[in-house]
Amino acid sequence: MAITLNNGFKMPIIGLGVWRMQRQEIRDLILNSIKIGYRHFDCAADYKNEAEVGEALKEAFDSGLVKREDLFITTKLWNSDHGHVLEACKDSLKKLQLNYLDLYLVHFPVATRHTGVGTTDSALGDDGVLDIDTSISLETTWHAMEELVSLGLVRSIGISNYDIFLARDCLAYSKIKPAVNQIETHPYFQRDSLVKFCQKHGVSVTAHTPLGGAAANTEWFGSVSCLDDQILKGLAEKYKKTAAQIALRWGIQRNTVVIPKSSKLERLKENFQVSDFGLSKEDMELIGSIDKKYRTNQPAKFWGIDLYA
């Protein structure tokens, strides 16, 4: 299953996110995922595991398990590298051992103090607040992203964590339209207006945290998981699936790409097995009724400032 981006490239509708994956786990995780059928991997410089992902990908290619052209690899520009887009992209490519990226995203719509290409630090000021660089505009960053396409380093470029205002602005000043906006969205944080705005204007939506972060975000941010919701549990029983599979299928039927994360083999298989059933219109609407406008990913915990305020 894949969606077609606004430039004609196809993006698998199910991917695997590698955020918070331990470096020693990466090899087996990537290789096992490919064997299960995953062809889309969502990485980022800030995850600090691109080199390990690259080693696993090289092994997959060298062993004949899969060809490079069969995979869709995404990574992201970190906040501290907005003034160094070309260098940051080349650094990610080197670590991933690739000669091109399928998709390169602006990770967050904010530039911060540069700390060295690839270091991906979130430098704080003396006041303990993220040191935001007000000299680099998002438009400047975007035009540098467009240059990566011209150089053949990147096939598609996109944005991440952009709201309607910022996405609209990017559409206005871009020569190459963003192919994707990657945002947190799940049954408890549906963001229907933003999803529909992006899709109306040809920007595909990728749902990061499509399961509401589950146990990992509960541990980091003290959030509540939508997977414990009684409606999702009831639908899981009705369709003889898990609550996670119901949430992922809901995301897919909204025409969003979903990139769940798991380091457990059984969960990897389970998350991928969502193409053999469909939710009824009534059940899609039922899930629509449980929206709590509840964001689970809260970087303010680390940055000393709520950028979503």
Residues annotated as catalytic (active site), given as ranges: 47
Query: What stretches of the chain adopt beta strand conformation (E)?
Result: 2-4, 10-12, 16-17, 40-42, 72-77, 101-106, 154-160, 180-184, 204-208, 257-258
- Nearest C-alpha neighbor of 296 from the set 227, 244, 235: 227
Residue labelled with tokens 């887009």: 85
Contact 110, 132 (CB under 8 A): yes
Q: Tell me: is residue 40 an annotated ligand-binding position.
A: no
Exposure letters 151-167 (e unless 16+ CB within 10 A, then b): eebbbbbbbbbbeeeeb
Contact 47, 16 (CB under 8 A): no
Annotated binding site: 107
Annotated binding site for substrate: 107
